[in-house]
Amino acid sequence: MEAADDAWQSAFARAVRHAKGTVSIVDRHALCFERVWCSYAVSVTLEQIDHDERTLSAASGSAARTWDLVTAHTWTSSGYNRSQYEAVTITDGLSAVQPDADRKCALQAHFPRLLLERALESCCAAVYAPCSDDTERLLPAIGVCGNGARCKWLDEVVHGVIASAALRQALEAQDVARRCRYVDALRRGHVRKLHLDLMGSAADTAETWREVVAALDAQTVTEIAFQTGMRCLPDDWTFARLSVLRTVDLSGCSSLVALPERLFCGCEGLVSVKLRGCDALIALPNDLLSGCDALATVNLCGCGALDAVAPSVFSGCSALTVVDLRDCEAGRSRKLVKSLRTRGVKVKR
């Protein structure tokens, strides 16, 4: 390891900044949250992600850099094709193995609770530095010295990632204190992405969803994917306050028959809306996408019952480029298809 006076210019820090992401290997004692070099690697990664998110335009999509966690843990998958695995991963967003909120929540549920709890209690101000050189260079680099604002931010982001990964289990728990602890970590965690599946859960209620959405940081969350078994979302539900939101995915909500009138109304930075496979959905409110000036793609594939879609639904979406109407009753509407194609929008059907 290069011993540069400025930790930021060390070979280690440069390697982390140039990598596409960082993976924290969590042992059975979760010691990676107590070691200064491990904490510094996470600190550099999260700062780069934060920088990328702030400098990307809405049309550029989310930052590609990631922070993932993996631990050795033997578990067996459910279902017909039962297989045994020896590791569990918490991924930053979706992945090839965790392509949607349903699969992501199901796999991450096997992450040992003890490790999650230790991570949620971690504090970078208490990390172990094995030598005086590390104490002098790295502790200030992660914000232990000074006013502590940087250290506080790092703790909050780490806790937010952990809370997001285990949110379903916490919401289902009979332990009220645990639920409050995880929701509070979500609220303070500057969370960028939240993928939550409550379908089939006793926690799948309007009150729970209100609590979750209210806990999201309006200045940081860019991507959300929710799955619910409810027939209707709360009438007053809206994502308008989430000022940097770019992607919303409600795919697979097969019981959903209606959407709130102003669910996406005013989401000026929203780029993508996915309602794929919402096969009970029968109509889209006229003001659903009002003010979504940056909206580029709308996926209604598989919304077989959806036949009431007026052309005016998309009238305020000046950046619209693709509408997917495959296996969707609305795709038979000549008026709707003609209206979209006249504007240069690609219609898939």
* Confidence at residue 308, expressed as pLDDT on a 0 to 100 scale: 81
pLDDT of residue 141 exceeding 90: no
253, pLDDT greater than 50: yes
Q: What pLDDT does 139 receive?
A: 86
In this prediction, residue 145 has a pLDDT band, given cuts at 50, 70 and 90, of: confident
- What is the biggest distance separating any 2 CA atoms in the chain, rounded to whole angstroms? 73
Query: Going by DSSP bridges, is the β-strand pair 84-90/66-76 parallel, antiparallel, or unpaired?
Result: antiparallel
Look at residue 57 in the predicted model and tell me its pLDDT. 47
What pLDDT does residue 56 have?
Answer: 64
Mean pLDDT, the chain, integer: 91
pLDDT confidence bin for 147, thresholds 50/70/90: low
Which residue did the predictor score with more confidence, 280 or 129? 280
Selected residue with higher pLDDT from 145 and 83: 83
Distance, in Å, from the CA atom of 264 to the CA atom of 290, rounded to the nearest integer, reads 7
Q: What is the mean pLDDT of residues 110-114?
A: 95
Query: Integer distance in angstroms from the first to the last C-alpha of the chain?
Result: 56
Q: Where are the alpha helices (DSSP H) in the chain?
A: 11-18, 36-55, 101-108, 113-120, 132-141, 149-165, 167-172, 176-188, 206-215, 334-342
Rg (CA), the chain: 22
pTM across the whole model: 0.90
pLDDT in tens, 195-243: 999 999 999 999 999 999 999 999 999 999 999 999 999 888 899 999 9
Asked if residue 133 has pLDDT above 90, the reply is no
Question: pLDDT digit string (tens) for 160-199?
Answer: 999 999 999 999 998 999 999 999 999 999 999 999 999 9
Identify the band that residue 3 occupies on the pLDDT scale cut at 50, 70 and 90.
very low
**Collapsed DSSP state (helix, strand, coil) of residue 2:** coil
Residue 312, SS3?
helix
Look at residue 103 in the predicted model and tell me its pLDDT: 87
Least confident of 134-143, 205-214, 304-313: 134-143
